[in-house]
Amino acid sequence: MKQNYLIIFLVLFFVLSLKTRSQETSQNKIPKRIYTTKPLLKVPVIDGDVSDDAWNVVEWSSDFTQKEPDEGKPPTHQTLFKVMYDKKYLYVAIRALDAEPDLTQRRLSRRDGFQGDRVNVIIDSYHDKRTAFVFTTTAAGVKGEEFASQNGDNWDDSWNPIWYTNAKIDGKGWTAEMKIPFSQLRFGKAEEQIWGFNVNRTIFRLQERSLWQRIPNDQAGFISEAGELHGLKNLVSQKQLEIQPFTVLKYDKYPEEVGNPYRTGKDFKFNAGLDAKIGITNDLTLDLTVNPDFGQVEADPGAIALDGFQIFFEEQRPFFVENSNIFDYEFANGSDNLFYSRRIGRNPHRSANLLTGEYANEPQNSRILGAAKFSGKTREGWSIGVLESVTGNEFAEIKQTDGNTREEIVEPLTNYFVTRVQKDFNDRNSFIGGIFTATNRHLNNSFNELHKAAYTGGIDFQHNWKNREYFLDGNVIFSRVLGSKEAITATQQTLRHNFQRTDASHVAVDFNKTSLSGSGGRIEMGKNGGGNWRYNGGVIWRSPELELNDVGFLRRTDEIIQFGNLSHLWQVPTETYRNIRARFEQSTYYDFAGNLNRVRFELNGEVSWINNWWTEAGYGISTNYFDNFYLRGGPRFKRPNTGFWYLFFGSNQSKLFSFTLGYSNRHTSENVVSRDRFVIRTNYQATDALSMSLNIEYANLYDKTQYVSETNFNNNPRYILGKIQNQTLSTTLRINYSFTPDISLQFYGQPFISKGTFSDLNQVINPLGSSINDRIAVFDNNQITFNNDVYLIDENRDGATDYSFDNPNFSFVQLQTNLVARWEYISGSELFLVWSRGSTGNAAISEDLVDAVSEQVFHAPANDTFLVKFTYRFRR
């Protein structure tokens, strides 16, 4: 009966699609607006004052239309703009009218803060109707930039071009001026350029957005629906050339380790490197970095993985973050991706082998000797990205007992290569693309545990039709890894593969293999626009031998997922709400042996209220729930039917003080698992220059079947589980003070604790049992003894220990803080002063969470880092 869910859903999906297509008719397509610019006669001073005579060569354009909350209606206050140009720059003037200029929100922040009243100028200079360069000026004169892709579905604020802007408040509202170098844009050759163009204004206190080119809410796409900028004649390609050397002074202070010559309590280091941008053509740019430094980057947040799978952390290093959308290839769902840049410069695979009395100075990360990115998009619709990076051999220096030193290699020289290509066609309504990655290691006749080489490739596509209302997209990927028998055997036995599963009929460990080849992908189709209905459905698959983790990210394999979603939108505001979205989700999970492992349903919704508060809620269930990975190499394990619900709501974010409160609950049949999670998020804008945010999350988990260990008894495996209470508390504090748009001070601090206490330790007796009491047997007092932090098990009660395992209790505490002073003294050139403090420890299990965090913050020994980084950007 469970397997019929797929057929039932597909029939329902088909009927609804026919019904909605017959009932809905898209409103008439909005005509494209055109603004015709002219060459300037005099260069305006970029001081925010638009009354300069230089602007008189062109006319104001206005008649903006609301996008939110009341799409199609005139805005509360109108906006005007002018555009002109010379041989090297595009100039934009903004007049943001406001009958109450004193209420204009002038919130200072660092670059890309996007706070307060603001205007975004959106330029599709490729005119590919999918990508755009976005320049933002706030009423406080703060600049921001984004690269928009996927027709407005992805906005990347890591892009940091050199350009100039300023803003002023006057009696009519506020004004702004922009001066944008053509070298920071990309466009083809033509006697007269035609660019996609739009201007978006946000009135922050009203949470109101208005557009120069109206885009109805039921219209799929955003960049494709922009107006047009005409009149750009005889533009000469301005090839970009920027060179940015940097120097870093770093002082580390930490607790001295007596007798360890490498832990004397303090270290001083000097480092230098170079970043560069070279315009190969006006379409394509080469980015280079030599010996990059990422000292000002925030530390990763604390996290504990009870399921054993790797945790995904966001990339924060500037070289890899900038233009990361070009290389993105998310092929399935979640974080699975063929390119995960944090593999480059990762921590070494090995630790030093030390004899008694020896000490080691071990590298924390693999040094990136150099990296280069070649990327851009041509007028003909070719999007190209090539990345090449090399990390060096890494050695641990070991101080021997006789006073001499030796070196031991802990990471081999590795080359990473990624290339990404896409081509638009069908009047930019369709594209086809591909990706190829290669990881090659020089193993030095050692490192038999690592892959010698790893290759992945994929093809992706998308087709839109009927004014982009309907879509079909997907991708197919392939992988191949090569290595010694030991390396490939280890890969087969990792948690994400589990070829050693004792009950698997379709996979088995092959100890003689020296390669693995796998595949995966996603096929999806649906409706993205037109009327109030949206729906999509498709399938995702990951074959058992798929392997991406040399330069990609993959959590698990051996999975086929069918999914479908149906949404209804209420987009016209009433006296009660601004908009509502209701969504139904359904999915089924299979493995490659044909086992149905899960059926999942969820109903959720979001409401934006008329007072700018919001509410989000959902409820879902999972039935027929089995997990191939739960016993970590053991047989398929039945999980209880699971229900979950959540409720979050928040206040008006335009107010000086705003908050979010949330609660989620997970519960199962027979009370096997229960989890409560509480979230409090607050933000306070104390002054225009000072903002503070505090986020607190607390989770309390009970699970009678938390995995503990695997052991052996009479040549039979034993899978040990236990009842866990896992409490996790995380507090994140951010304080930002901006002296000017170019001088700022930021503080980040996060204490984190996760404590797990086990009881009712048990063994699996029937992994597929229908009841929890059929699946596990709790050890009684005659079977289990605790001695010297080890559990001794006498399973057959004959008075002799049959097997043992360590006490699984844990209490992990971590503190991460970061204080950064930043001065952009010339556009693109910066001075950083950084203080970081971090510590990790293990609190007593009996200690209260708050007391354990307090001890770690105020009393535990910590590592302090003081850093000065100076960059200067030379540009032509």
Over residues 686-711, the pLDDT tens digits come to: 999 999 999 999 999 999 999 999 99
What tens digit of pLDDT does each residue of 69-121 get? 999 999 999 999 999 999 999 999 999 999 999 999 999 998 888 889 999 99
Angle (CA) 150-152-157 rounded to 5° is 95
The CATH code of the domain that includes 196 is 2.60.40.1190
Is residue 601 included in any domain, yes or no? no
> What is the spatial distance between Cα 559 and Cα 544, in angstroms, rounded to a whole number?
8
How many Cα atoms occupy the beta-carbon half-sphere of 801 within 13 Å? 11
Contact 57, 38 (CB under 8 A): yes
Residue 792 token pair: 């001794």
Report if residue 663 sits inside a domain: yes
Is residue 783 included in any domain, yes or no?
yes
Give the Cα separation of 106 and 53 in Å (integer).
Answer: 27
What span, in angstroms and rounded, lies between the C-alpha atoms of 319 and 371? 9
**Residue after which a domain boundary falls, among 233, 248, 266:** 233
Burial readout 425-457 (b: 16 or more C-beta within 10 A, e: otherwise): eeebbbbebbbbbbbbbebeeebeebbbbbbbb
Q: How far is CA 647 from the centre of its chain?
A: 23
Number of domains in the chain: 2
Measured CA to CA, the distance from residue 582 to residue 608 in angstroms comes to 12
Peptide bond into 412 cis (omega under 30): no
| Domain finish residue from 199, 233, 267 | 233
The token pair at 601 is 């349903």
Q: Looking at the DSSP assignment, which residues form a beta bridge with residue 410? A: none
- Of 210, 233, 256, which residue constitutes the final position of a domain? 233
pLDDT of residue 558: 96
Q: How far apart are CA 54 and CA 197, in angstroms?
A: 22
pLDDT at 477: 97
Q: 567-571 long-range contacts, Cβ below 8 Å, gap at least 24?
A: 567/533, 567/534, 567/535, 568/532, 568/533, 568/534, 569/217, 569/218, 569/532, 569/533, 569/534, 570/532, 571/71, 571/217, 571/218, 571/532
pLDDT of residue 296: 65
Largest Cα separation within the chain, whole Å, is: 100
Round to whole Å and give the CA distance between 807 and 804: 10
In which element (H, E) is residue 19 found? helix 5-23
Of 144, 151, 190, 186, the residue nearest 165 (C-alpha): 144
Bridge-based pairing state of the strands 394-399 and 405-411: antiparallel
Distances in Å between the alpha carbon of 704 and those of 481, 517, 717, 759, 822? 38, 38, 20, 9, 50
Residue ranges in the chain modelled with pLDDT below 50 = 1-27
- The label of the residue with tokens 């001083």 reads 268
Amino acid at 366: S
Laid out side by side, the sheet with 405-411 consists of 359-361, 394-399, 405-411
In whole angstroms, what is the distance from residue 440 CA to residue 450 CA? 10
- DSSP code of 57? G
Task: Write down the pLDDT at residue 23.
Answer: 42
Q: Is 215 exposed, middle or buried (CB count within 10 Å of its CB: 0-12, 13-18, 19+)?
A: buried
Task: Determine how β-strand 642-650 pairs with β-strand 614-623.
Answer: antiparallel
- Torsion sign (Cα): 160, 163, 164, 169: negative
**Residue 203 lies inside a defined structural domain of this protein:** yes
In this structure, the chain runs to a length of 876
- What is the token pair recorded at 467? 């004014």
Cα dihedral 311/315/320/323 (nearest 10): 110
Task: At 3, give phi and psi (nearest 5°).
Answer: -70, -10
What are the residues whose beta carbons fall under 8 Å from the beta carbon of 311, sequence distance 6 or more? 303, 305
Q: How far apart are CA 556 and CA 559, in angstroms?
A: 8
Contact of 652 with 658, CB cutoff 8 Å: yes
What distance in Å separates the CA atoms of residue 661 and residue 393, rounded to the nearest whole number?
48
The boundaries of the domain holding residue 130 are 31-233
The pLDDT value recorded for residue 293 is 76
765/776 Cα distance (integer angstroms): 5
Per DSSP, helices labelled H in 268-337 are 318-321, 324-327
Q: Read off φ and ψ for residue 439, nearest 5 degrees.
A: -120, 125
Q: Residue 586 pairs with which residues in a beta bridge?
A: 564, 601
Query: Residue 4: what pLDDT?
Result: 47
**Three-state SS at 405:** strand
CA distance 205 to 398: 61
Residue 209 domain-assigned (yes or no): yes
CA distances to 247, 270, 405, 867 from 361, in Å: 24, 17, 11, 21
How far is 471 from 460, CA to CA, in rounded Å? 14
Inside any domain, residue 358: no
Domain membership flag for residue 754: yes
Confirm whether 846 is domain-assigned.
yes
Structure confidence at residue 19 (pLDDT): 46
